[in-house]
């Protein structure tokens, strides 16, 4: 499981970066960013996973005393929650930018979205 | 060495003798150049007549106080040069005020009169005087180069800047003269002399033909008298200087006259043989052979 | 082409970096000391059955406050950034939406909202929590928009909710300074009976506020994006 | 003590509540925002003051009632208190400045601002690495939001690029964090730092990623295009926030987390930081947009502090002092500049001349620019000094060199900008609009720079209170600038007199210091006295003049190298403002400043080597340096020679001095240039001439001096303007002095000292008089004058005597100098250099005659027929100096005697022997009174004779000359003045070809071309910037870590 998650996460990250580096359309670039972000989250969770363990929620099946040896690491799970929300916020703002940029220049081509010859 | 009041009359006497020699030469040299040109020329005593005439002229005009002072500066410079020059070696009477200064003083005093004269003529407002000065200054800056080098070489050779001591070091026969002991420096110095004696090829400064007027014209009468006085003294001072540092000086007046006359003839002869340079040409000329010779002179010390 | 080759080279480089990164990772099969502490002491100290929740709301509560702030900031930005377009909202007539969607939404939206509330209220007991619940609520908002694109009602409520839940959250956090062990300490309220709804001190309250806040922020972002459409 | 977490709570509570307060109106919301920010600042301030008062450890504040490391903790210590204070103060000021924008955009915008500032505080306070990531994200998303306070295309693209780039960077950061957690089992930073050596193997990719992320946050070259676009695209107030607050916070992250990367991280930070500093300043050279320049400069400055942090182990206990002083200056000055850029409302640097229409704003501009460049009395001066001292002491020469180079580049564009703003025409530009909101923040920050500087100096030591107290007086004069000139003049004279009174006991008994104190302070009094001729207010003249003289005073008074340098730099600022006052002085003032800056930097390096060698900065450190002595002495000499305008560094002088007016010309030439001589004397005294390297340096120096004399004098001969002529002449004269000093002989130094003093006198006369004439006639072109002897007899006399002195014609004192030179040349066998010097002395006749002839003699022009004599205010000081010349001429031993005695201790051999009034050396003698008497009496006799024989001389009219029988009527036609030495030019004009100017032009062109290449990477395309970021990470990874797997 862990290996698959980690490899998959890494692959997602690389694909995301590839998209950010090569796609012309800013929506696609943002999608690339999203992939990159998602890949990170996958890696995060994957890294916290321990073999044959369960979610860290104490209930009747999982008494407190045994918890430490039967649950996965709760920290990455907590972190990923935060990371996801942050990623969401960033993506939302990026999309808002994309919207505005499109409105002002009627194009989504990133190479055309720059001011003058930059000086 | 302290100042002795008795120096004053003796120095004045020496000055007068130099003046007379100068007046003589100023009559003699035009005569020679005229003869070379198959002309009769002036009489040898003509300068004296002119002299009297100038001081007798009644009318006199002035353009302002600097114009008035110009000739004074000029003559003061000339007289000063003689007064600081040891004329006769070994003679207390004719050593003048040489103890108060050395070659350097002589070199810079030369400009005292020139500057005053230039300024005085300048105030007349005549453009040609300014042109003449501009030419003269431009030329002198390069003509001085070999002169300075020669002087430095001689001073280094004799370990002194004092003219009296240089003369003293050359006593004891022609073999001790700088001319023999340091021929390169002497050659350099003699080339430099050409540049300051107002003879062809370096006399475009005055350019008697192209600029028929100028200082001597604006200055007339008494002013001109003062100036001609200087023209008898100033070149002689230079000649004596050269005699002292290159040719063993003089132990009596006869030798002084002889050597002085011979040295004086050097630019005259060159002048009758060679045509005149433009200023830029003369500058370039001085920056060639005389400069190289001069550098050789100091390099050999 | 050159650009792609470059990009590919860089990706290869990154791949190498990942490879090395992975090789250096810890392969221990035990919980590390931090995780162990949370698992062993979390339920006792915070009274929350869901250890993740105790970490999210209490131990790492500042992260969560920060994350709420980010959403808030994003919403505010999008709010004032796309504001200019609001006036143009009425220019293009909203397209007709299907009757089915409209009717369905009337039925579904309250249920969705309810589900959201359930999820965040039970955050300390079961998987889920404020963010999840908030996201569910926001999905209800999306449904509303789809059903009636010209809808403008509720924006005021959203804003009040947004501010109010945020302020309360901060207020509770500060209360921890004075009433309990520190900022964001959940023990300002009694821990209650472990495993029940009204347990874990302030966690359910905070998580609910987070849920409301997240729901409100996401809805407000959606509002702004919706209105920005031409 | 207030719990620091309340900083966060207050910010968030306010931010959230703003949504509810919409109804109350935006002004009220704005006020609440400000109050919240002020409260945050207050919390930081009271912590900081507590830390400064009681030497205590800061508390660790845990959250959630748990215990560290399992809960998130906040740390409040000295550094945190300081950094949060910086950020919160910037928050208050930045918000205040953004009033219009914020109220226009509503409460949401204010909330974003608050959240952003909160995020920055959080970054600093938090002790948890993931929490730090969260706060970073808050800050960056809020930044992107603030960029949109103005939504034009520029800010849109800037914000978008920034969001993309920071998204990518924080992704890498997160990846690093999670793997760090995986290997160490903790997120607490303190624990992590403890765990680093144990758990993390060398070459941990996780810590590498964290390190890359924090470095990328600092916008390192070349992965910083997004940063530059952000600075230039954001609204001015926001850029200010980014440059000051965000960058400060990001820097703190670096301080906190860099140790995670181990020693290699420091190396990388050092390399990346300094490269960024040099490269971004280089690239900025070809930039014309003000905001972009500020962006490059900000990035560069941050790169510098990053680099310094990377090198901090080499800097010892001073490291943080250096960092704080540089960071603090950057913080205050850059914010101020960005704010000003918002007021000017044009990104074109040439349009900044509009700022002159609001003089106060312009003064602020100047303060910020000079503070950024590390001029005293600002903090960065002390920081840069300690930095170079520290680096050089640790033998990090290349680093120090690179930093100095980068500083030079920065100076080039900042000063170009400033100079152009100062001088370019602003007739058609609108006056910049500033409101109370946009005016107060830059004012406050500018004022803060001064106490900050003083405060920094108390930590570095070296500068006493007398380095600062007079500045207050100068500021007072600055505030009184609205008064008429004569009142300020009286005050200034009183000030200089008071300072001289203070200075006297310090120099008493030290001939060397007396000479220079006399020149500097005497020059000040004379120049200020001459200043009475001015009418009107003469705005800005007095503060800058006094600043220059204060610098000179401190220079003489200096007891250590730092004071020396302090005075030197003050003098540079003051003189720059004086020199650039001329009408067409723009390029010249600018190049003056650049040469000065380059010189200062070279000097600083040299001083660093001296300090490294002696272990102290006392002046004695200059003696016998043994760490790279040849380099040390050469650099110091180069530094001082930029002020003496020696060959190679002389090109600034003619224009700068030539365009200056009378009294300024006097100060600049007669007085200011002597500061360089002062320095050269100090250096050469320390160096001696026994070591082989010293002899080589002296040989070069001697040739530089001799050739400077020649080129200066020839150059002077070809000038048409009297002022340019005098300026070139000064170059030549200073060449003599340098030559004299380079001989390292008793006579050489005697001559140099003599020239130093006499040049002050005779050149002083010339500058005052010629300047006064130019003022009267309305032009400095000599050929437009002529015949002025009739209108200005007193001037003529003064000029005549001074040129006789200058030319060295006996019997005046100038001859003494020539005579000593000849004696030295012959006795030391320095024929070749000596020849050049002598020839240049003779060349001097050319320009001297031209000067006096073309101005005073020849034909008086019609329009000058009614021109008046030069103002008595100028004549009186000139005649005072004339008396000095005459006294020295008659009794040169009064001057040369004491100087000789002083020099005999250093150069016992070859001293001048005095027997009464007769001076003699082994070679020659002269007796000035006798020479004077002989020449004087001859002159008197001849004059009397002429008077007697020529009683009836009649004064005639101007045109009464023999002119081929014609009567000239137009003076222009008969006044020979233009291109006076045409023939000379034809023959030796090649000497006057501006080879040196061409050389520097080519250097400048080369740099600009290089800058152009560098700039080509900044395409403006967001995608390229992403490429740069990924490439940066991969490249550094491969370089540093590739081999470690």
Would you list the DSSP string of D231-256? HHHS-HHHHHHIIIIIHHHHHHHHHH
What percent of chain B has pLDDT above 70?
A: 95
* Mean pLDDT of all residues belonging to chain B: 86
Structural contact between residues D825 and B152, judged by C-beta atoms closer than 8 angstroms: yes
For A116: left if phi > 0, alpha if psi spans -120 to 50, otherwise beta; the answer is left
CA dihedral D406, D410, D411, D413 (to 10 degrees): 140
Structural contact between residues B90 and B76, judged by C-beta atoms closer than 8 angstroms: no
Q: What pLDDT score does A2 carry?
A: 76
Q: Rounded to whole angstroms, how far apart are CA atoms D852 and D848?
A: 6
Contact A86 D137 (CB under 8 A): yes
Q: Rounded to whole angstroms, how far apart are CA atoms B301 and B158?
A: 10
Q: Quick check: D928 pLDDT over 80?
A: yes
Q: Quick check: A117 pLDDT over 50?
A: no
Same-domain pairing of D831 and D868: yes
Tens-place pLDDT, residues D576-615: 998 888 888 888 889 899 999 999 999 999 999 999 998 8
Residue B2 lies in a domain: no
Single out the residue of D668, D671, D683 nearest to residue D638, CA to CA. D683
Cβ-based neighbour number of residue C229 at 10 Å? 13
Partner C contacted by D1031 (CB < 8 A) = yes
Q: Rg of chain B's alpha carbons, rounded to an integer?
A: 19
- Count of A–C CB contacts within 8 Å? 135
Chains with 3 or more CB pairs closer than 8 angstroms to D? A, B, C
Same-domain pairing of D325 and D345: yes
* C/B Cβ contact: 3+ pairs below 8 Å: no
Structural contact between residues D928 and D811, judged by C-beta atoms closer than 8 angstroms: yes
Of C160, C169, C173, the CB nearest to D20: C160
Contact C76 D145 (CB under 8 A): yes
Residue A59 lies in a domain: no
Q: Rounded to whole angstroms, how far apart are CA atoms B124 and B216?
A: 11
pLDDT band at D289 (very low <50, low <70, confident <90, very high): confident
**What are the backbone dihedrals phi and psi of residue C32, each rounded to the nearest 5 degrees, phi first?**
-80, 175
Contact D831 B278 (CB under 8 A): no
Domain count, chain D: 2
Residue D170: both structure tokens together: 């924080």
Same-domain pairing of D349 and D276: yes
Interface test with A, best of C2, C48, C52 (most A CBs within 10 A): C52
Closest CA of chain B from D516, distance in Å: 29
Structural contact between residues D515 and D674, judged by C-beta atoms closer than 8 angstroms: no
Residue B59: both structure tokens together: 């009318």
Region B12-25: mean pLDDT is 92
Interface test with D, best of B59, B138, B145 (most D CBs within 10 A): B138
Single out the residue of B165, A58, C202 nearest to residue D924, CA to CA. B165
Q: Quick check: A1 pLDDT over 80?
A: no
For D861: left if phi > 0, alpha if psi spans -120 to 50, otherwise beta; the answer is beta
For D56, residues 6+ apart whose C-beta sits below 8 A from its C-beta are D50
Strand partners, A54: A71
What percent of chain D has pLDDT above 70?
A: 99
Burial B2-13 (b: 16+ CB within 10 A, else e): ebeeebeebbee
The H or E element containing residue B82 is helix B65-83
Q: Rounded to whole angstroms, how far apart are CA atoms A51 and B247?
A: 116
Residue of A103 and A36 predicted with greater confidence = A36
Region A99-104: mean pLDDT is 84
Same-domain pairing of D932 and D854: yes
Q: Quick check: C46 pLDDT over 90?
A: no
Q: What pLDDT score does D192 carry?
A: 85
Partner C contacted by D637 (CB < 8 A) = no
Residue B28 lies in a domain: yes
Residues of C in contact with A73 (CB under 8 A): 31-32, 35
Please give the ipTM for the structure prediction.
0.86
Burial D890-925 (b: 16+ CB within 10 A, else e): bbbbebbeebbebbeeebeebbbeeeebbbbbebbb
Residue D91: both structure tokens together: 């928050």
Structural contact between residues D364 and D337, judged by C-beta atoms closer than 8 angstroms: no
Q: Rounded to whole angstroms, how far apart are CA atoms D156 and D420?
A: 30
Coil, helix or strand for A116? Answer: coil
Q: Rounded to whole angstroms, how far apart are CA atoms D976 and D954?
A: 25
Residues of D in contact with B292 (CB under 8 A): none
Residue D627 lies in a domain: no
Q: What pLDDT score does A118 carry?
A: 44
Q: In this structure, what DSSP letter does residue D221 have?
A: S
Same-domain pairing of D1004 and D940: no
Of B76, B149, B155, the CB nearest to D939: B76
* Predicted structure pTM score: 0.91
Domain count, chain A: 1
Which residues of C, range 162-221, sit inside 8 Å of D by Cβ?
162-164, 166-167, 169-171, 173-174, 176-177, 180-187
Which residues of C, range 66-85, sit inside 8 Å of D by Cβ?
66-67, 69-70, 72-74, 76-77, 79-81, 83-84
Torsion over CA: B213, B215, B219, B224 (sign): negative
Query: Can you list the alpha helix ranges (DSSP code H) found in chain C?
Result: 2-23, 33-46, 51-53, 61-81, 99-121, 130-147, 155-179, 203-228
Q: Rounded to whole angstroms, how far apart are CA atoms B94 and B82?
A: 10
Residue of C227 and D398 predicted with greater confidence = D398
Interface test with A, best of C18, C19, C51 (most A CBs within 10 A): C51
Question: What is the domain extent for residue B51?
Answer: 7-300
Q: What pLDDT score does D969 carry?
A: 78
Residues of A in contact with D163 (CB under 8 A): 90, 93-94, 97
* A/C Cβ contact: 3+ pairs below 8 Å: yes
* Mean pLDDT of all residues belonging to chain D: 89
Q: Quick check: C215 pLDDT over 60?
A: yes
Residue A119 lies in a domain: no
Contact A114 D1022 (CB under 8 A): yes
Chains with 3 or more CB pairs closer than 8 angstroms to C? A, D
Partner D contacted by C131 (CB < 8 A) = no
* B/A Cβ contact: 3+ pairs below 8 Å: no
Residue B43 lies in a domain: yes
Q: What ranges make up the beta strands (E) of chain B?
A: 61-62
Region D431-459: mean pLDDT is 91
Any long-range contacts for C32-36 (C-beta under 8 Å, 24+ apart)?
C32/A73, C32/D184, C32/D185, C32/D186, C33/D185, C33/D186, C34/A75, C34/D69, C34/D70, C34/D181, C34/D185, C34/D186, C34/D187, C35/A73, C35/A74, C35/A75, C35/D185, C36/A68
Question: What is the domain extent for residue A99?
Answer: 2-52+71-109
Q: Quick check: B207 pLDDT over 60?
A: no
Residue D927 lies in a domain: yes
Which residues of C, range 103-132, sit inside 8 Å of A by Cβ?
125-127, 129, 131
pLDDT band at D201 (very low <50, low <70, confident <90, very high): low
Of B123, B135, B278, the CB nearest to D789: B123
Same-domain pairing of D1003 and D987: no
For B264, residues 6+ apart whose C-beta sits below 8 A from its C-beta are B25, B29, B235, B239
Coil, helix or strand for D615? Answer: coil
Q: What pLDDT score does B209 carry?
A: 46
Residues of C in contact with A18 (CB under 8 A): 7-8, 11
> Which position has the token pair 């002589």?
B106
Residue D403 lies in a domain: yes
Residue B66 lies in a domain: yes
> Which position has the token pair 């004009």?
D989
Q: Quick check: D96 pLDDT over 90?
A: yes
Partner A contacted by C197 (CB < 8 A) = no
Query: Can you list the alpha helix ranges (DSSP code H) found in B247-288?
Result: 253-273, 279-286
Region D266-294: mean pLDDT is 90
pLDDT band at C91 (very low <50, low <70, confident <90, very high): very low
Residue D1030 lies in a domain: yes
Nearest CA in chain A to C41: A64
Strand partners, A3: none
Q: What pLDDT score does B93 carry?
A: 85
Contact B126 D962 (CB under 8 A): yes
pLDDT band at D203 (very low <50, low <70, confident <90, very high): low
Residue of C190 and C114 predicted with greater confidence = C114
Q: Quick check: D630 pLDDT over 80?
A: yes
* Mean pLDDT of all residues belonging to chain A: 84
Partner B contacted by D853 (CB < 8 A) = yes
Coil, helix or strand for D461? Answer: coil
Q: What is the CATH number of the domain that holds A32?
A: 1.10.287.3510
Q: Rounded to whole angstroms, how far apart are CA atoms D786 and B123?
A: 9
Q: What pLDDT score does C75 carry?
A: 87
Tens-place pLDDT, residues D325-335: 999 999 999 99
Q: Quick check: A116 pLDDT over 70?
A: no
Range from B48-52, C90-94, D621-625, D885-889 carrying the lowest mean pLDDT: C90-94
pLDDT band at C82 (very low <50, low <70, confident <90, very high): confident
Residue A63 lies in a domain: no
Q: Rounded to whole angstroms, how far apart are CA atoms D613 and C8?
A: 52
Tens-place pLDDT, residues D956-1015: 888 887 777 777 778 888 888 888 888 888 888 888 788 888 888 898 889 988 888 888
Structural contact between residues D364 and D446, judged by C-beta atoms closer than 8 angstroms: yes
Structural contact between residues D122 and D131, judged by C-beta atoms closer than 8 angstroms: yes
**What are the backbone dihedrals phi and psi of residue B200, each rounded to the nearest 5 degrees, phi first?**
-55, 145
Same-domain pairing of D765 and D832: yes
Residue D1016 lies in a domain: yes
Q: What pLDDT score does B213 carry?
A: 44
Residue D942: both structure tokens together: 């001849």
Q: Rounded to whole angstroms, how far apart are CA atoms D685 and D697?
A: 13
Contact C14 D3 (CB under 8 A): no
Any long-range contacts for D929-933 (C-beta under 8 Å, 24+ apart)?
D929/D890, D929/D891, D930/B3, D930/B97, D930/B100, D931/B84, D931/B97, D931/B100, D931/B101, D931/B105, D931/D810, D931/D811, D932/D811, D932/D889, D932/D890, D933/B3
Residues of C in contact with D8 (CB under 8 A): 62, 65
Question: What is the domain extent for residue D719?
Answer: 690-948+970-993
Region B239-258: mean pLDDT is 91
């Amino acid at each position: 499981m862990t290996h698959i998650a980690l490899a998959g996460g890494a692959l997602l990250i690389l694909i995301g970066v590839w998209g950010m580096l090569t796609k012309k359309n800013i929506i696609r670039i943002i999608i690339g960013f999203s992939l990159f972000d998602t890949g990170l989250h996958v890696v995060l969770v994957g890294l916290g996973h321990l073999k044959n363990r369960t979610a860290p929620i104490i209930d009747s099946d999982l008494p407190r005393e045994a918890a430490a040896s039967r649950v996965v690491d709760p920290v990455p799970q907590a972190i990923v929650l935060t990371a996801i929300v942050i990623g969401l916020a960033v993506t939302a703002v990026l999309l808002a930018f994309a919207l505005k940029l499109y409105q002002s220049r009627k194009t989504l081509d990133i190479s055309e979205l720059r001011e003058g010859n930059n000086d | 060495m302290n100042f002795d009041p008795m120096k004053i009359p003796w120095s004045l006497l020496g000055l007068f003798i130099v003046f007379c020699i100068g007046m003589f030469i100023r009559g003699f040299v035009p005569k020679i150049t005229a003869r070379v040109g198959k002309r009769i020329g002036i009489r040898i005593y003509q300068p004296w007549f002119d002299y009297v005439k100038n001081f007798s002229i009644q009318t006199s005009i002035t353009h302002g106080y600097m114009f008035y002072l110009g000739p004074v500066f000029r003559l003061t410079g000339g007289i000063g040069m003689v007064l600081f020059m040891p004329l006769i070696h070994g003679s207390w009477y004719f050593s003048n005020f040489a103890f108060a200064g050395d070659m350097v003083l002589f070199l810079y005093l030369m400009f005292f009169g020139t500057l005053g004269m230039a300024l005085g003529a300048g105030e007349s407002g005549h453009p040609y005087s300014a042109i003449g000065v501009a030419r003269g200054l431009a030329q002198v800056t390069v003509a001085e180069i070999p002169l300075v080098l020669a002087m430095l070489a001689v001073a280094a050779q004799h370990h002194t800047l004092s003219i009296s001591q240089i003369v003293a070091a050359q006593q004891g026969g022609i073999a001790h003269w700088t001319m023999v002991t340091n021929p390169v420096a002497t050659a350099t110095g003699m080339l430099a002399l050409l540049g300051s004696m107002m003879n062809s090829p370096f006399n475009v400064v005055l350019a008697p033909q192209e600029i028929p007027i100028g200082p001597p014209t604006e200055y007339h009468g008494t002013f001109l008298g003062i100036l001609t006085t200087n023209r008898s003294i100033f070149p002689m001072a230079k000649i004596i200087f050269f005699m002292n540092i290159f040719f063993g000086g003089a132990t009596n007046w006869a030798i002084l006259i002889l050597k002085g006359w011979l040295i004086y003839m050097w630019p005259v002869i060159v002048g009758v043989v060679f045509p005149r340079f433009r200023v830029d040409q003369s500058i370039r000329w001085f920056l060639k052979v005389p400069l190289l010779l001069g550098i050789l002179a100091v390099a050999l010390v | 082409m050159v650009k792609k080759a470059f990009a590919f080279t860089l990706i290869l480089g990154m791949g190498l970096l990942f490879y090395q990164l992975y090789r250096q990772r810890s392969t221990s099969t035990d919980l590390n000391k931090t995780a162990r502490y949370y698992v062993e002491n979390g339920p006792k100290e915070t009274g929350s059955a869901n250890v993740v929740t105790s970490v999210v709301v209490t131990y790492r509560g500042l992260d969560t406050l920060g994350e709420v702030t980010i959403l808030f900031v994003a919403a505010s930005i999008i709010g004032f950034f796309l504001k200019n377009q609001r006036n143009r909202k009425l220019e293009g007539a909203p397209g007709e939406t299907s009757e089915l969607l409209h009717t369905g939404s009337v039925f579904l939206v309250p249920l969705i909202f309810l589900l959201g509330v359930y999820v965040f209220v039970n955050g300390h007991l079961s998987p889920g929590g404020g963010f999840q619940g908030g996201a569910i609520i926001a999905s209800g908002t999306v449904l509303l928009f789809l059903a009636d694109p010209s809808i403008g009602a509720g924006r005021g409520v959203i804003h009040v909710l947004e501010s109010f839940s945020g302020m309360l959250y901060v207020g509770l956090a500060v209360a921890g300074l004075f009433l309990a062990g520190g900022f964001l300490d959940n023990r300002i309220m009694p821990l209650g009976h472990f495993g029940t709804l009204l347990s874990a001190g302030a966690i359910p309250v905070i998580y609910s506020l987070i849920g409301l806040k997240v729901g409100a922020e996401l809805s407000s972002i959606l509002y702004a994006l919706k209105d920005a459409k031409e | 003590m207030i719990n620091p977490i309340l900083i966060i709570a207050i910010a968030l509570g306010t931010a959230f509540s703003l949504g509810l307060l919409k109804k109350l109106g935006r002004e009220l919301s704005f006020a609440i925002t400000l109050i919240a920010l002020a409260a945050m600042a207050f919390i930081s301030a009271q912590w900081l003051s507590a830390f400064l008062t009681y030497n205590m450890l800061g508390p660790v504040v845990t959250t959630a009632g748990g215990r560290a490391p399992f809960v998130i903790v906040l740390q409040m210590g000295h550094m945190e208190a300081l950094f949060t204070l910086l950020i919160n103060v910037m928050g208050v000021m930045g918000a205040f400045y953004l009033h219009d924008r914020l109220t226009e955009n509503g409460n949401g915008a204010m909330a974003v601002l608050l959240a952003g500032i909160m995020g920055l505080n959080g970054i600093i306070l938090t002790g948890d690495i993931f929490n730090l990531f969260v706060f970073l994200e808050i800050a960056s998303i809020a930044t992107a939001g603030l960029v949109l306070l103005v939504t034009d295309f520029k800010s849109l693209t800037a914000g978008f690029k920034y969001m993309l780039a920071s998204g990518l960077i924080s992704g890498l950061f997160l990846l690093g964090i999670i793997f760090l957690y995986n290997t160490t089992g903790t997120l607490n930073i303190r624990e992590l730092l403890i765990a680093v050596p144990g758990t993390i193997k060398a070459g941990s990719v996780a810590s590498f990623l964290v390190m890359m992320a924090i470095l990328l946050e600092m916008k390192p070259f070349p992965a910083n295009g997004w940063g530059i676009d952000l600075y230039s695209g954001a609204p001015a107030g926001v850029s200010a926030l980014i440059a000051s607050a965000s960058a400060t916070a990001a820097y703190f992250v670096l301080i906190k987390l860099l140790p995670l990367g181990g020693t290699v991280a420091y190396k990388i930070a050092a390399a990346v930081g300094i490269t960024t500093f040099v490269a971004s300043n280089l690239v900025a050279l070809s930039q014309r947009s003000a905001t972009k320049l500020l962006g490059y400069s900000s990035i560069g400055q941050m790169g510098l502090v990053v680099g310094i942090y990377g090198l901090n182990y080499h800097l010892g206990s001073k490291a943080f002092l250096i960092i704080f002083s540089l960071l603090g200056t950057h913080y205050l000055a850059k914010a101020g500049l960005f704010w000003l850029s918002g007021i000017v409302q044009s990104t074109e640097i040439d349009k900044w001349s509009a700022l002159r229409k609001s003089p106060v704003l312009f003064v602020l501009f100047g303060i910020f620019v000079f503070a950024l460049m590390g001029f005293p009395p600002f903090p960065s001066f002390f920081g840069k000094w300690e930095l170079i001292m520290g680096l050089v002491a640790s033998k990090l020469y290349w680093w120090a060199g690179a930093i100095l180079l980068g500083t030079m580049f920065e100076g080039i564009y900042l000063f170009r900008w400033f100079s152009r703003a100062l001088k370019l025409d602003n007739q058609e530009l609108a006056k910049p609009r500033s409101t109370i909101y946009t005016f107060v923040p830059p004012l406050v920050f500018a004022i803060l720079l001064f106490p900050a500087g003083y405060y920094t100096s108390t930590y570095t030591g070296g500068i006493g209170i007398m380095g600062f107290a007079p500045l207050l007086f100068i500021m007072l004069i600055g505030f009184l600038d609205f008064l008429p000139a004569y009142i300020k003049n009286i005050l200034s004279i009183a000030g200089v007199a008071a300072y001289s009174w203070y200075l006297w006991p310090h120099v008493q008994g030290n001939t060397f210091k007396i000479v220079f104190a006399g020149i500097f302070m005497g020059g000040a009094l004379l120049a200020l006295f001459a200043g009475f001729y001015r009418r009107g207010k003469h705005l800005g003249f007095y503060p800058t003049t006094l600043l220059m003289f204060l610098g000179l005073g401190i220079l003489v008074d200096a007891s250590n190298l730092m004071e020396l340098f302090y005075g030197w730099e003050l003098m540079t600022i003051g003189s720059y403002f004086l020199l650039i006052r001329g009408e067409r002085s723009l390029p010249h003032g600018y190049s003056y400043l650049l040469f000065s800056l380059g010189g200062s930097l070279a000097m600083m390096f040299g001083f660093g080597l001296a300090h490294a060698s002696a272990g102290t900065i006392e002046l004695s450190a200059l003696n016998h340096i043994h760490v790279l002595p040849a380099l040390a002495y050469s650099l110091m000499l180069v530094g001082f020679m930029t002020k003496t305008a020696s060959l190679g560094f002389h090109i600034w002088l003619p224009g700068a001095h030539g365009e200056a007016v009378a009294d300024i010309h006097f100060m600049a030439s007669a007085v200011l240039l002597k500061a360089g001589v002062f320095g050269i004397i100090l250096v050469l005294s320390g160096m001696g001439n026994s070591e082989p390297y010293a002899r080589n340096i002296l040989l070069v120096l001697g040739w530089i001096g001799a050739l400077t004399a020649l080129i200066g004098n020839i150059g002077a001969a070809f000038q048409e303007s009297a002022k340019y002529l005098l300026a070139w002449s000064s170059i030549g004269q200073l060449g003599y002095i340098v030559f004299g000093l380079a001989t390292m002989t008793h006579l050489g130094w005697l001559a140099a000292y003599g020239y130093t003093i006499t040049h002050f006198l005779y050149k002083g006369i010339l500058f005052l008089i010629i300047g006064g004439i130019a003022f009267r006639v309305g032009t400095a072109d000599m050929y437009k004058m002529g015949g002025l002897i009739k209108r200005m007899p007193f001037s003529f006399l003064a000029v005549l005597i001074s040129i006789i002195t200058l030319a060295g014609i006996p019997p005046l004192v100038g001859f003494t100098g020539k005579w000593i030179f000849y004696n030295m040349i012959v006795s030391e066998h320095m024929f070749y250099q000596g020849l050049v010097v002598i020839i240049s002395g003779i060349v001097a006749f050319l320009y001297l005659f031209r000067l006096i002839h073309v101005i005073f003699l020849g034909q008086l022009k019609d329009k000058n027929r009614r021109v008046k004599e030069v103002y008595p205010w100028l004549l009186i000081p000139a005649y005072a100096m004339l008396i000095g010349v005459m006294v020295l001429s008659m009794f040169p031993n009064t001057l040369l005697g004491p100087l000789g005695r002083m020099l005999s201790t250093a150069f016992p051999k070859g001293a001048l022997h005095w027997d009464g009034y007769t001076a003699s050396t082994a070679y020659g003698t002269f007796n000035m009174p006798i020479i004077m008497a002989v020449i004087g009496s001859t002159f008197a006799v001849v004059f009397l004779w002429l008077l007697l024989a020529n009683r009836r001389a009649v004064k005639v009219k101007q045109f009464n000359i023999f002119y081929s029988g014609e009567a000239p009527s137009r003076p222009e036609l008969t006044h020979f003045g233009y291109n006076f030495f045409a023939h000379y030019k034809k023959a030796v004009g090649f000497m006057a070809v501006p080879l040196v100017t061409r050389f520097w032009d080519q250097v400048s062109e080369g740099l600009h071309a290089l800058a152009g290449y560098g700039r080509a990477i900044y395409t403006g395309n967001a995608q390229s910037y992403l490429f740069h970021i990924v490439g940066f990470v991969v490249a550094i990874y491969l370089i540093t870590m590739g081999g470690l797997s």
